[in-house]
Amino acid sequence: MPESRAGRGHPGKSMASFTLHGIPVSRGISIGRAHLLTPAALDVKHYLVAEEQVEAEVKRLQEAIAQVHRTLQDLWTDLPKDAPTELGAFIDVHVLILSDPMISEAPLDIIRSRHYNAEWALVTQIDELSAQFDEIEDAYLRERKQDIQQVAERVLKVLMGTELSAPPVPTGEDHFQPQMIVVAHDISPADMLAFRDRSFVGFVTDVGGQNSHTAIVARSLDIPAAVGMSQASRLVEQDDWVIVDGDAGVVICNPSALVLEQYRARQAALIKARKRLLKLKKTPAVTRDGTSITLLANIELPDDCPAALDAGAHGVGLFRSEFLFMGRGAQALRVPSEDEQFEQYRKAVLAMKGRAVTIRTLDVGADKPLDQTEHTALNPALGLRAIRYCLAEPQLFLTQLRAILRASAFGKVRILIPMLAHAFEIDQSLNMIAQAKAQLREQNIKFDESIEVGAMIEIPAAALALPMFVKRMDFLSIGTNDLIQYTLAIDRVDYEVAHLYNPLHPAVLNLIAMTIAAGAKAGIDVAVCGEMAGDVKLTRLLLGMGLREFSMHPAQLLAVKQEILASDLKTLTTRTRRILRAMEPGDIAEAVEQLQSL
């Protein structure tokens, strides 16, 4: 008889091995037992309630929603000090969704009108909302669909009495203690906290993209992960042995003893390599031919600064200020005051101990509304967002600008304006900064009169009209995530088209190269602050383009520095020119790979 799953103590002994391919989102290799999270919606019972029981059923759903509210607030309050700052913002998004009438009230109407039980009413409403989102081909709205489904999952689990179960502490006789790999259709960033202090070493999801919420948190936690697996939660069974190759986006279920041995050897080598990287903390980032490279950190909140310093960052290349607006717990609907913002900016400036802090102005809008009741645009990625939103809300913009300027009295601060495309947007932004300065002068409040102002280059129109930018701005920062998305018309969080999201597309590479060259010619600094900056496979390519400033998550900094130390710019520059002339994807990918061996 075949060996039962429950009695299997070692991998590779009974069940057939199979491999799944998805999207790599967080580097490294993890090996362990599968811990499946089954969507609660699959187990929902459907029945009609009697007329006299309708209000009791309504109350049952209301109490479940209230309990989830309390759970989310407790999660926010109890966030560990070392938790990624993104988690707080994502919890806030779930609080807002739970408060929306489409979730908190519409299912109650279904119970009253159709006499559905609470679970059935909630699933019916969520299915209707999901169908509406499916009709709109937009990255941000589709991402919000996943958030809505994750919130509904929480409520359903309360209704059904099946709270999220964390994996047990592993036991067994295996020499390599088996650890847990979460396998799910989807998992919310907040739910990841339930596994944080357990033997959770990786995760696999059916859905998601390179820049989905779960992918961002995985990178922040430095946990190997692969998403967009489509059928993983159906094919992998509870307690199966699983290997997650976060570098390749590959998941191997029930590996043979030989495959397992090979991956354990690779895993051990990766661990040793990471330990070696720690020795580079104090080593200057200088190429083999003596060129100094500036390595900066991307942060969300001032509390990220110690990690940036610990990684050896020369400063902050991107302070995403919207997290101050979004990460506010119960106060999420209230915009932070000037004093509140000033204190946070000053905290970051002081924490960086004289190193420059580049603060990006508010990057929210129709895609990430500050108020959940705001009208949602049909195409948020192309709508009223970032600088467009700020110019449409001048008082909000002035408040933030004054707060940033006040913080500049305590250390070097630079202002970064997102999503600029038109000359009049640049001029209006500079006029608003001049107005904020004038207001502070009238109040005798100190600030840096010569504060530098830069532009994000993340729209193809901006990269194709660089003369008007270099004429007006002090520096440029290339946001590769949006630049790729807009150039290729790719929804960067949609796993169904994620294979088309290609940073090595010749159009993307030429837009980046043009921007770097224009900055060098004008004598102004150009940085890359998108995901490409932290991808070690692209470090030498960017160096060959002439990039001298990289800004990335602190966890990626030492690996990028290692590539810089091994690079010779003269050779890279020659090879990169050839790559930029190439048009065939295969030729470009092969040439970029060859750069690694130079």
Q: CB-based burial of residue 461 (10 Å sphere; 0-12 exposed, 13-18 middle, 19+ buried)?
A: exposed
Question: What CA–CA distances, in Å, run from 190 to 194, 205, 439, 568?
Answer: 8, 15, 41, 43
Same domain, 261 and 245: yes
- The label of the residue with tokens 């489509």 reads 230
297 lies in a domain?
yes
Asked whether 127 and 107 are in contact (CB, 8 A), the reply is: no
Same domain, 269 and 285: no
Same domain, 197 and 286: no
Kindly name the residue from 94, 213, 505, 553 that is annotated as catalytic.
213
Sign of the dihedral defined by the CA atoms of residues 250, 254, 255, 261, in that order: positive
Which among 239, 147, 152 is positioned nearest to 189, based on CA atoms?
Answer: 147
Last residue of a domain, one of 275, 294, 326: 275
99 lies in a domain?
no
Structural domain harbouring 425: 281-595
Same domain, 247 and 302: no
135 lies in a domain?
no
Number of H helices, E strands in the chain: 24, 16
How many structural domains is the chain composed of?
Answer: 2
Same domain, 301 and 248: no
Q: Is 94 one of the catalytic residues?
A: no
155 lies in a domain?
no
Same domain, 436 and 584: yes
Strand partners, 183: 36, 204
Same domain, 365 and 440: yes
Asked whether 231 and 20 are in contact (CB, 8 A), the reply is: yes
571 lies in a domain?
yes
55 lies in a domain?
no
572 lies in a domain?
yes
Same domain, 570 and 448: yes
CATH assignment of the domain containing 519: 3.20.20.60
pTM, to two decimals: 0.71
Same domain, 181 and 260: yes
Task: For 417, list phi and psi in degrees, rounded to 5.
Answer: -100, 125
Q: Is 305 one of the catalytic residues?
A: no
Question: Side chain identity at 331, as an amino acid letter?
Answer: Q
**Rounded Cα gap, residues 359 and 88, in angstroms:** 20
Task: State in Å, rounded, how far the first CA of the chain is from the last one.
Answer: 55
Same domain, 298 and 436: yes
Last residue of a domain, one of 243, 275, 307: 275
Same domain, 183 and 246: yes
Question: Side chain identity at 246, as an amino acid letter?
Answer: G
Last residue of a domain, one of 256, 275, 294: 275
Kindly name the residue from 94, 390, 529, 553 that is annotated as catalytic.
529
**Rounded Cα gap, residues 542 and 275, in angstroms:** 26
Same domain, 222 and 240: yes
Per-residue pLDDT of the chain (598 residues; tens, 9 = 90+): 333 343 344 454 446 899 999 888 888 899 998 988 766 665 677 888 899 999 999 999 999 999 998 888 887 777 766 666 666 767 777 888 888 888 889 999 999 998 889 988 998 888 888 777 665 544 545 556 777 888 888 898 888 876 555 444 444 444 444 588 889 888 776 666 656 555 678 889 988 777 666 777 777 677 898 988 888 988 999 889 999 998 888 999 999 999 999 999 999 998 898 889 989 998 999 999 999 999 999 998 898 899 899 999 999 999 999 878 764 444 444 678 999 999 999 999 999 999 999 999 998 754 445 544 444 455 566 778 899 999 999 999 999 999 999 999 999 999 999 999 999 999 999 999 999 999 999 999 999 999 999 999 999 999 999 999 999 999 999 999 899 989 999 876 565 776 788 999 999 999 999 999 999 999 999 999 988 999 999 999 999 999 999 999 898 899 999 999 999 999 999 999 999 999 998 999 999 999 988 8
378 lies in a domain?
yes
